[in-house]
Homo-oligomer: A and B are copies of this chain.
Amino acid sequence: MRLHDHLTSGNGFKVRLLLSQLGVRYQRIEYDIDKRETRTPEFLERNPNGRVPVLELDDGTYLAESDAILWYLAEGTPYLPDDRRQRAEVLQWMFFEQYNHEPNIATVRYWITHRVPVTPLIELSMPAKRAQGEAALRVMEGHLGHRAFFVGDRYTIADIALYAYTHVAGEGGFDLAPFPQVRGWINRIAGQPGYIPITQG
């Protein structure tokens, strides 16, 4: 397998973390997203949406969208429950992550860490994204109040999906101090067998 990736991407890290925990060997190909290397005609053949991560399977086909890749890789492993209801809950949290969490917490982190020039739109969007990101963290905090992990009291790809940008939320200026349950959960994930940091390519 080959992973078309960008090292600081939390979406890419989700896949790297699960591949590490599954013990799957793969080749990683790095793209400079600031230089628009994922918008070249060659890359758009792999993913017409122009984004990493993209998983290239051994048959030469491509799969995009980090959470779809997690699902594909986790099927039949302990990282994805067998129970129909719990599987739907895993998806519920992964869609929450992509709709309510990532566009706020990851986007603000990207603007700051990649030093994106502050346009009037970015300046006006920042307070709303910060508020919506904090609202997502509050939803997570409430859910974790009486649970060790997001679904079925076991570490699953729902945790991986939400962990990726939560554990680096501070890089976007999000303060996790008011979210002790989230911080405890972050520590539990960092202690899972096969864990690797986001900086490890």
Q: How many copies does the complex hold?
A: 2
A171 close to chain B: CB less than 8 A? no
The distance from the CB of A139 to the nearest CB of chain B, in whole angstroms, is 5
Q: Could you tell me the distance between the alpha carbons of A124 and B119 in the complex, rounded to whole angstroms?
A: 10
**Nearest residue in B to A72 (C-beta to C-beta)?**
B88
By secondary structure, the A interface counts as helix
Q: Would A63 and B49 be within 8 Å (CB), given that A124-B121, A125-B121 are in contact? A: no
Q: Would A68 and B88 be within 8 Å (CB), given that A98-B98, A124-B120, A125-B125 are in contact? A: yes
The distance from the CB of A9 to the nearest CB of chain B, in whole angstroms, is 14
B72 touches A95 (CB 8 A): no
Contacts of A143 in B (CB 8 A): 48
B49 touches A139 (CB 8 A): yes
Which A53-102 residues have C-beta < 8 A from chain B?
57, 61, 63-69, 71-72, 75, 84-85, 87-89, 91-92, 94-96, 98-100, 102
A103 close to chain B: CB less than 8 A? yes
A142 close to chain B: CB less than 8 A? yes
Q: Could you tell me the distance between the alpha carbons of A99 and B66 in the complex, rounded to whole angstroms?
A: 11
Q: Could you tell me the distance between the alpha carbons of A85 and B58 in the complex, rounded to whole angstroms?
A: 12
**14 A-B residue pairings within 8 Å (CB atoms):** A49-B139, A63-B85, A64-B96, A65-B91, A66-B95, A68-B94, A69-B88, A72-B84, A72-B87, A72-B91, A91-B91, A99-B102, A121-B128, A124-B124
Please tell me which one of the listed residues B61, B64, B87, B99 contacts residue A103 in the complex, with CB atoms under 8 A apart: B99
Binding site for B on A (CB under 8 A): 48-49, 57, 61, 63-69, 71-72, 75, 84-85, 87-89, 91-92, 94-96, 98-100, 102-103, 120-121, 124-125, 128, 139, 142-143
A92 touches B121 (CB 8 A): no
The distance from the CB of A13 to the nearest CB of chain B, in whole angstroms, is 16
